Amino acid sequence: MGRGALLRALLAFLLIPQALWAHPFHGSYAELEWSQGGTLDVAIKVIPEDLERALTSLAGTKTVLRDTPPVRALLVQYLDKHFRVLPENPSTQTQIVGMELDHRDTWIYFSIPATPNSAPRLRNTVLMDLEATQTNRVKRLWLPEAPVLVFSAAEPERDL
């Protein structure tokens, strides 16, 4: 391949629309556990590019997913809106416990003040604001034999 042909091939590759690079599956997976301290502890796995897009949209400026105080503050804002135990207590706020950042999957660990004795429901619309086909799965660790809960745009809330 000549130098000109190689340059044209490289240019064509770089000009492929970003939509063609998008991944076909849009989903998250979360595991929940009630703590002794009156919180629902959550570990949620998301696709990092999707979470970056959501945080960028929320911030109004390009956000790179890193474990920094500004990114944690954006995550709290985002999760308070999209991952809620109902009925809501307006004085409670999500607490980020940690993050495992990877180029394939990102795990976010957080807790939400809530108690299991209030017959709660969970509203999980994580990343549904960006992708209509987003499906979120939730495993309740206190019910190991129970089916995984599935959340979608058509059914964003489920009984815990």
Give me the domain span that covers residue 48.
26-159
Examine residue 8 and state whether it is found in any structural domain, yes or no.
Answer: no
Pairing, β 39-46 against β 149-151? unpaired
Examine residue 41 and state whether it is found in any structural domain, yes or no.
Answer: yes
Specify the pTM. Answer: 0.82
Examine residue 16 and state whether it is found in any structural domain, yes or no.
Answer: no
pLDDT tens profile 71-130: 999 999 999 999 999 887 766 789 999 999 998 899 999 999 888 877 789 999 999 999
Domains in the chain: how many in total?
1
42-101-73-133 Cα dihedral, nearest 10 degrees = -70
